A and B are shown apart, each in its own frame.
Chain A
Amino acid sequence: GDSVTQMEGPVTLSEEAFLTINCTYTATGYPSLFWYVQYPGEGLQLLLKATKADDKGSNKGFEATYRKETTSFHLEKGSVQVSDSAVYFCAPLFNSGGSNYKLTFGKGTLLTVNP
Protein backbone atom coordinates (compact mmCIF):
# COMPACT_ATOMS: atom_id res chain seq x y z
CA GLY A 1 0.00 0.00 0.00
CA ASP A 2 0.88 3.67 -0.11
CA SER A 3 3.34 4.76 2.53
CA VAL A 4 5.91 7.41 3.45
CA THR A 5 9.29 7.03 5.14
CA GLN A 6 10.99 10.03 6.66
CA MET A 7 14.46 10.30 8.12
CA GLU A 8 14.28 9.94 11.86
CA GLY A 9 15.81 12.50 14.11
CA PRO A 10 16.62 14.27 16.10
CA VAL A 11 18.94 16.35 13.96
CA THR A 12 21.20 18.90 15.65
CA LEU A 13 23.12 21.42 13.57
CA SER A 14 25.09 24.58 14.08
CA GLU A 15 23.86 27.82 12.58
CA GLU A 16 24.72 28.18 8.87
CA ALA A 17 25.12 24.43 8.38
CA PHE A 18 23.55 22.59 5.45
CA LEU A 19 20.37 20.64 6.11
CA THR A 20 18.95 17.58 4.39
CA ILE A 21 15.94 15.65 5.65
CA ASN A 22 15.21 12.58 3.55
CA CYS A 23 11.72 11.54 2.53
CA THR A 24 10.71 8.67 0.28
CA TYR A 25 7.30 7.29 -0.56
CA THR A 26 5.66 4.24 -2.06
CA ALA A 27 2.58 4.83 -4.20
CA THR A 28 0.67 3.36 -7.09
CA GLY A 29 0.33 6.79 -8.69
CA TYR A 30 1.99 10.18 -8.53
CA PRO A 31 0.86 11.96 -5.40
CA SER A 32 1.25 15.63 -4.66
CA LEU A 33 3.99 16.07 -2.07
CA PHE A 34 4.11 18.43 0.89
CA TRP A 35 6.45 19.47 3.67
CA TYR A 36 4.86 20.85 6.81
CA VAL A 37 6.66 22.50 9.71
CA GLN A 38 5.59 22.63 13.35
CA TYR A 39 7.23 25.24 15.55
CA PRO A 40 7.25 24.64 19.33
CA GLY A 41 3.78 24.87 20.81
CA GLU A 42 2.09 25.56 17.49
CA GLY A 43 0.07 23.78 14.83
CA LEU A 44 1.39 22.64 11.48
CA GLN A 45 2.12 25.11 8.72
CA LEU A 46 2.62 24.36 5.07
CA LEU A 47 6.28 24.89 4.23
CA LEU A 48 6.33 23.94 0.55
CA LYS A 49 4.76 21.60 -1.96
CA ALA A 50 5.19 20.06 -5.41
CA THR A 51 2.40 18.58 -7.47
CA LYS A 52 4.18 16.81 -10.34
CA ALA A 53 7.45 15.23 -11.31
CA ASP A 54 10.50 17.55 -11.42
CA ASP A 55 8.60 20.36 -9.71
CA LYS A 56 10.65 22.21 -7.10
CA GLY A 57 8.89 23.63 -4.09
CA SER A 58 10.61 26.43 -2.20
CA ASN A 59 9.92 28.71 0.73
CA LYS A 60 11.96 30.50 3.43
CA GLY A 61 15.21 29.19 1.91
CA PHE A 62 14.01 25.58 1.97
CA GLU A 63 13.73 23.54 -1.21
CA ALA A 64 12.51 20.10 -2.23
CA THR A 65 12.34 18.53 -5.69
CA TYR A 66 9.78 15.93 -6.75
CA ARG A 67 11.89 13.00 -7.95
CA LYS A 68 9.67 10.45 -9.67
CA GLU A 69 12.56 8.09 -10.49
CA THR A 70 13.58 7.70 -6.86
CA THR A 71 10.13 8.44 -5.35
CA SER A 72 11.73 11.00 -3.10
CA PHE A 73 11.09 14.53 -1.88
CA HIS A 74 14.10 15.45 0.25
CA LEU A 75 14.05 18.76 2.11
CA GLU A 76 17.17 20.93 1.90
CA LYS A 77 18.37 24.27 3.15
CA GLY A 78 21.77 25.70 2.49
CA SER A 79 22.25 27.66 5.70
CA VAL A 80 20.01 26.98 8.69
CA GLN A 81 19.18 29.51 11.37
CA VAL A 82 18.25 29.10 15.01
CA SER A 83 14.71 30.11 14.07
CA ASP A 84 14.45 26.99 11.86
CA SER A 85 14.36 24.79 14.95
CA ALA A 86 11.11 22.86 14.61
CA VAL A 87 9.62 19.50 13.66
CA TYR A 88 9.37 18.83 9.92
CA PHE A 89 6.83 16.46 8.37
CA CYS A 90 6.86 14.99 4.90
CA ALA A 91 3.32 14.31 3.68
CA PRO A 92 2.29 12.78 0.35
CA LEU A 93 -1.33 13.18 -0.72
CA PHE A 94 -2.31 9.67 -1.73
CA ASN A 95 -5.36 8.75 -3.78
CA SER A 96 -7.42 6.49 -1.53
CA GLY A 97 -9.93 5.60 -4.24
CA GLY A 98 -12.02 7.52 -6.75
CA SER A 99 -11.96 11.23 -5.92
CA ASN A 100 -10.83 10.67 -2.33
CA TYR A 101 -7.36 11.78 -1.27
CA LYS A 102 -5.60 11.19 2.02
CA LEU A 103 -2.70 13.22 3.39
CA THR A 104 -0.30 10.75 5.00
CA PHE A 105 2.33 12.12 7.37
CA GLY A 106 5.79 10.84 8.06
CA LYS A 107 6.71 10.53 11.73
CA GLY A 108 8.43 13.89 11.79
CA THR A 109 12.02 15.02 12.18
CA LEU A 110 12.99 17.26 15.07
CA LEU A 111 15.59 19.84 14.02
CA THR A 112 17.53 21.82 16.59
CA VAL A 113 19.86 24.57 15.41
CA ASN A 114 22.42 25.87 17.87
CA PRO A 115 23.97 29.35 17.65
Chain B
Amino acid sequence: DAEITQSPRHKITETGRQVTLACHQTWNHNNMFWYRQDLGHGLRLIHYSYGVHDTNKGEVSDGYSVSRSNTEDLPLTLESAASSQTSVYFCASSDLRGQGVQTQYFGPGTRLLVL
Protein backbone atom coordinates (compact mmCIF):
# COMPACT_ATOMS: atom_id res chain seq x y z
CA ASP B 1 0.00 0.00 0.00
CA ALA B 2 1.09 3.53 -0.72
CA GLU B 3 2.04 5.55 2.31
CA ILE B 4 3.82 8.58 3.65
CA THR B 5 6.48 8.16 6.32
CA GLN B 6 8.45 10.55 8.49
CA SER B 7 11.69 10.09 10.36
CA PRO B 8 12.70 10.38 13.04
CA ARG B 9 9.45 10.18 14.99
CA HIS B 10 11.06 11.90 17.97
CA LYS B 11 14.09 14.17 18.08
CA ILE B 12 15.83 16.14 20.81
CA THR B 13 18.43 18.67 19.76
CA GLU B 14 20.23 21.70 21.08
CA THR B 15 19.85 25.33 20.16
CA GLY B 16 21.96 26.27 17.15
CA ARG B 17 22.29 22.80 15.67
CA GLN B 18 21.19 21.97 12.16
CA VAL B 19 18.39 19.41 12.04
CA THR B 20 16.86 17.61 9.07
CA LEU B 21 13.48 15.89 9.18
CA ALA B 22 12.76 13.34 6.49
CA CYS B 23 9.52 12.81 4.60
CA HIS B 24 9.02 10.02 2.06
CA GLN B 25 5.88 9.19 0.12
CA THR B 26 5.10 6.31 -2.18
CA TRP B 27 1.87 7.77 -3.59
CA ASN B 28 3.79 9.27 -6.52
CA HIS B 29 2.16 12.61 -5.65
CA ASN B 30 3.49 15.79 -7.20
CA ASN B 31 2.59 17.99 -4.24
CA MET B 32 4.25 17.82 -0.84
CA PHE B 33 3.83 20.01 2.21
CA TRP B 34 5.36 20.62 5.62
CA TYR B 35 3.27 21.89 8.56
CA ARG B 36 3.93 22.52 12.20
CA GLN B 37 1.32 21.96 14.87
CA ASP B 38 1.26 24.03 18.03
CA LEU B 39 -1.37 24.38 20.72
CA GLY B 40 -3.71 27.24 19.95
CA HIS B 41 -2.53 27.57 16.35
CA GLY B 42 -3.78 24.46 14.59
CA LEU B 43 -1.53 23.53 11.67
CA ARG B 44 0.53 26.17 9.91
CA LEU B 45 2.20 25.74 6.54
CA ILE B 46 6.00 25.97 6.49
CA HIS B 47 7.02 25.08 2.93
CA TYR B 48 5.52 23.27 -0.01
CA SER B 49 6.50 21.84 -3.37
CA TYR B 50 4.52 21.20 -6.53
CA GLY B 51 7.16 19.00 -8.14
CA VAL B 52 10.84 18.19 -8.51
CA HIS B 53 13.04 21.26 -8.05
CA ASP B 54 10.00 23.38 -7.08
CA THR B 55 9.82 24.86 -3.57
CA ASN B 56 7.69 27.62 -2.07
CA LYS B 57 7.46 29.41 1.25
CA GLY B 58 4.44 29.06 3.49
CA GLU B 59 3.25 31.33 6.25
CA VAL B 60 5.94 30.37 8.82
CA SER B 61 9.01 29.65 6.69
CA ASP B 62 11.65 31.67 8.56
CA GLY B 63 14.44 29.42 9.84
CA TYR B 64 13.40 26.47 7.64
CA SER B 65 14.40 25.26 4.20
CA VAL B 66 13.42 22.41 1.87
CA SER B 67 14.71 20.89 -1.32
CA ARG B 68 13.00 18.55 -3.78
CA SER B 69 15.40 16.40 -5.79
CA ASN B 70 12.92 13.60 -6.56
CA THR B 71 9.20 12.95 -6.42
CA GLU B 72 9.23 10.83 -3.26
CA ASP B 73 11.13 13.00 -0.77
CA LEU B 74 10.87 16.47 0.75
CA PRO B 75 13.33 16.87 3.64
CA LEU B 76 12.83 19.82 5.99
CA THR B 77 15.97 21.47 7.40
CA LEU B 78 16.16 23.72 10.41
CA GLU B 79 19.29 25.72 9.67
CA SER B 80 19.99 26.70 13.29
CA ALA B 81 17.45 25.25 15.68
CA ALA B 82 15.72 27.61 18.10
CA SER B 83 13.54 26.82 21.12
CA SER B 84 10.61 28.43 19.28
CA GLN B 85 10.86 25.58 16.77
CA THR B 86 9.90 23.00 19.36
CA SER B 87 6.78 21.56 17.81
CA VAL B 88 5.19 18.59 16.08
CA TYR B 89 5.95 18.54 12.37
CA PHE B 90 3.71 16.91 9.78
CA CYS B 91 4.45 16.15 6.19
CA ALA B 92 1.63 15.75 3.68
CA SER B 93 1.23 14.99 0.00
CA SER B 94 -1.49 15.36 -2.60
CA ASP B 95 -2.16 15.03 -6.29
CA LEU B 96 -4.38 16.98 -8.69
CA ARG B 97 -2.55 20.26 -8.53
CA GLY B 98 -4.70 23.21 -9.46
CA GLN B 99 -7.92 21.27 -9.49
CA GLY B 100 -9.13 22.82 -6.27
CA VAL B 101 -10.27 19.48 -4.95
CA GLN B 102 -7.00 17.97 -3.82
CA THR B 103 -6.98 15.75 -0.73
CA GLN B 104 -3.85 15.87 1.37
CA TYR B 105 -2.55 12.71 3.03
CA PHE B 106 -0.54 13.14 6.21
CA GLY B 107 2.41 11.37 7.74
CA PRO B 108 2.50 10.31 11.41
CA GLY B 109 4.46 13.37 12.54
CA THR B 110 7.83 14.14 14.13
CA ARG B 111 8.03 15.54 17.65
CA LEU B 112 10.97 17.92 17.89
CA LEU B 113 12.29 19.32 21.14
CA VAL B 114 14.92 22.05 20.98
CA LEU B 115 16.75 22.57 24.26
A-to-B contact residues, CB < 8 Å:
31-32, 34, 36, 42-46, 49, 51, 89, 93, 95, 99-103, 105-108
B40–A43 touching, CB < 8 Å: no
* Residues of B with C-beta under 8 A to A102: 45
CB distance from A34 to the nearest CB of B (A): 7
A selection of 26 A-B contacts at a CB cut-off of 8 Å is A32-B102, A34-B103, A36-B106, A42-B109, A43-B90, A43-B108, A43-B109, A44-B90, A45-B106, A46-B103, A46-B104, A46-B105, A49-B103, A51-B101, A89-B43, A93-B101, A93-B102, A95-B100, A99-B97, A99-B98, A105-B35, A105-B43, A105-B44, A106-B42, A107-B42, A108-B42
* Residues of A with C-beta under 8 A to B33: 103
B42–A103 touching, CB < 8 Å: no
* Residues of B with C-beta under 8 A to A49: 103
Interface size for B (C-beta < 8 A) is 22
B-to-A contact residues, CB < 8 Å:
33, 35, 40-45, 90, 92, 97-98, 100-109
Q: What 4 pairs across the A-B complex have the smallest Cβ distances?
A: A99-B98, A43-B106, A105-B42, A107-B42
**Interface majority SS on A: helix, strand, loop or mixed?**
strand
CB distance from A112 to the nearest CB of B (A): 16
* Residues of A with C-beta under 8 A to B103: 34, 46, 49
B107–A43 touching, CB < 8 Å: yes
* Residues of A with C-beta under 8 A to B109: 42-43
* Residues of A with C-beta under 8 A to B92: 44
